[in-house]
Structure 1
Amino acid sequence: MVTTTTAGPAAPGGGGRHRHRYVDLSLTIEPTPSEPVPTVIDRVGHAEGADILGGPAGIGRAEFPGGLGLSLEHVRLTTHTATHVDAPAHYGPQCEGRRARTIDELPLEWFHGPGVLLDCRGESTEPVDVDEVRARLSQAEHELAPGDIVLIDTDAARLWGRPEYFTDFRGVTRAATRFLVESGVKVIGVDSFGFDPPFHRMLADWAATGDPAVLWPAHIYGREREYCQIERLANLSAIGRPTGFEVACFPIKIKDAGAGWARVVAIVPEEPSPCRA
């Protein structure tokens, strides 16, 4: 979903007001074959809602305007369902030698800042590595700065709604993650089910090598340096530029949780609209 809004002060030189496109980068929380843990949404309709609301007073739907009260939904899901932000506490109990922070403890300024979009779409099925990250940054003529929010487009979101979304994606290497974090980046997003390679691939690598380093390497790097991952982004190509936009990705505050759902939005400036007489 993309919307365009006129907002903000007049452009320099009196050229009209600024316009922005708001690009929704989030998946919808819904039952889907793409989620291995089912999402269940039980809906309470308006008529039943009237019975519930009026129950303490001994009245029912007949007493409500139009026989209708208020609806609601009961939702059963994990904190890692659909588009969400992983906190350091998800990676391990400690980070940088102290207790790892949970999603409700992280500073808000991490989750609103300059966006950097790395276009890593293509034929490769291997994880995005540090050389690829450097090459995309060079193409964008961008040097990373603290506060940048880096988004990685691997075209995995095209499989949303299908079982293959859980199994067919690239992931990101530990070395690429380390490079981004050591460049001052606190939030890195990807459009795939997970940030590391698919579960079955990592487990097969462990079975072949017995090396624990092949198991969730980018996640486990988060025990050494504090950073957040956004998993399961969508619509990244709609941003239309590698830099020059902002990202807002505030996670929901869930007490002592390792992740929280987020409505991730790219705010992309457009040319100022003409002044009206």
Structure 2
Amino acid sequence: MKIVDLSKPIAYNKKDPWFMRVKIKHKSHRASKWLIRVLGLPFRLFPKNFEGWADDCIQKMGVHATTHMDAPWHYSPTVGDAPAKTIDQIPLEWCFGEGLVIDMSHKLDDEEIMLEEVKCFIDDHDLVVKEGMIVLFRTGRDKYIGQSDYHKHGVGVSAAVTEWLIDLGIKVMGIDAWGWDLPLPHLIERAKETNDPDLFWNAHLVGQRKEYCHMEQMVNLGSLPLSGFKVAAFPLKIVGASAGPARVVAIIE
């Protein structure tokens, strides 16, 4: 069995834009000795070989700042007439299943992934989309992780593709780019040029009508076969949250 890590490292990077920056405080082994002393244990009673334990504190990390799963609540407070699920309400059954990779790494930045080309890719490679699968879009944009312009590079999944997959029984999808839709800086520029307010987050907003989750900022999708593997994608159980950082892995038997 081979396990492939599909999650980016969680670490401070000064090149990250402010809305992605993570701050972690690492505490030394020695610092914990003073905590135990404050709790009432005299130094003379410490175990002789005890150096203390290391500890760490995440001081700042947005739930969308690293590899994460977006909950339906992120897209809208409701799905149809029902309240949208927050990340702690996502059924665990959604988070483990057969994986499928759709390789769109040939596409240029700011291009949408269209339904017809997804169908052609699936047919050309004799793939089958089955209910309960976790479908991953490889774009190759994980190569920009750690760079200051990471969020400006990307290929967006179209609303038509998103809705089509949901209709086939797909509850969880993922991409190795900063976002699921086209890059936000690109959409802002297009909106200014066209005066069109309807350009934004069209694939996200499918979630107003149909329930699904997607994962963003994945890595290593190029290390996977197109099919024949499983994906485990369990987000942190943060009550009431719009997303959860996730350690996503592929399992290849």
**1:102-154 Cα distance to aligned partner (Å, 9 max, x none):** 00001111010010001111142202121221122112212312101100000
Against the structure 1 CA distance between its residues 177 and 122, is the aligned structure 2 distance closer, same or farther, given a 3 Å change threshold? same
Check conservation: 2:107, 2:155, Cα contact below 8 A: no
Change (3 A) 1:59 1:217: farther
TM-score, structure 1 as length reference: 0.85
1:229 paired residue number: 214
Query: Which residue does the alignment assign to 1:248?
Result: 232
Deviations 1:20-70 (A, max 9, x none): 111111101111224542110111110001111331205459945446211
3-state SS of the aligned residue for 1:262?
strand
Matched, 1:265 2:246: no
Q: Following TM superposition, by how much is the alpha carbon of 1:208 offset from its aligned partner in structure 2, in angstroms?
A: 2.5
Q: State how far apart, in whole Å, the 1-side matches of 2:43 and 2:201 are.
A: 53
Q: What is the one-letter code of the residue matched to 2:151? A: F
Residue identity opposite 2:159 in structure 1: R
Contact 2:107 2:139 in 1 (8 A): no
Q: Tell me how far apart the structure 2 counterparts of residues 202 and 121 of structure 1 sit (CA, whole Å).
A: 20
Q: Deviations over 1:208-248 (max 9, x none)?
A: 23333211111111111000011011011111x21111111
Q: Using a 3 Å threshold, how does the CA distance of structure 1 residues 101 and 123 change in structure 2: closer, same or farther? A: closer
Q: 1:186 corresponds to which residue?
A: 171
Match of 1:54 in 2: 37
Stretch moving more, 77-86 or 175-184 = 175-184
Q: Which residue of 2 aligns with 1:108?
A: 92
Structure with bigger gyration radius:
1
- TM (normalized to structure 2)? 0.93
SS at structure 2 position matched to 1:85? strand
Structure 1 partner of 2:149: 164
CA distance in 1: counterparts of 2:7 and 2:236, whole angstroms: 14
* Amino-acid identity (%): 33
**Kept after mapping to 2: 8 A contact 1:34/1:166:** no
Unpaired segments of 5 or more residues in structure 2? Answer: none
Moved over 3 A (4+): 58-67
- Give 2:5's aligned amino acid: D
Check 1:117–1:170 CA distance in 2 against 1; reply closer, same or farther (3 A cut): same
1:218 pairs with 2:203: yes
Structure 1 residue aligned with 2:82: 98
Counterpart check, 1:42 vs 2:22:
no
**Structure 2 matches for 1:66-105, cutoff 5 A?**
66=49, 68-75=51-58, 76-105=60-89
* Residue matched to 1:7: none
Q: Deviations over 1:189-217 (max 9, x none)?
A: 00001111111111122222333321111
Q: In structure 1, what is the Cα distance between the partners aligned to 2:223 and 2:240?
A: 34
Contact 1:115 1:151 in 2 (8 A): yes
Please give the alpha-carbon distance, in whole angstroms, between the structure 1 residues aligned to 2:72 and 2:91.
12
The 2-side partners of 1:197 and 1:105 are apart by 27
C-alpha contact 1:61 1:67 (8 A) present in aligned 2: no
Q: What's the C-alpha RMSD, in Å, of the aligned pairs?
A: 1.7
* Equivalent AA in structure 1 for residue 191 of structure 2: W
Range moving further from structure 2, 139-148 or 60-69: 60-69
1:22 aligns with: 3
CA distance in 2, matches of 1:60, 1:67: 11
Give structure 1 stretches of 5+ with no counterpart: 1-19, 270-277
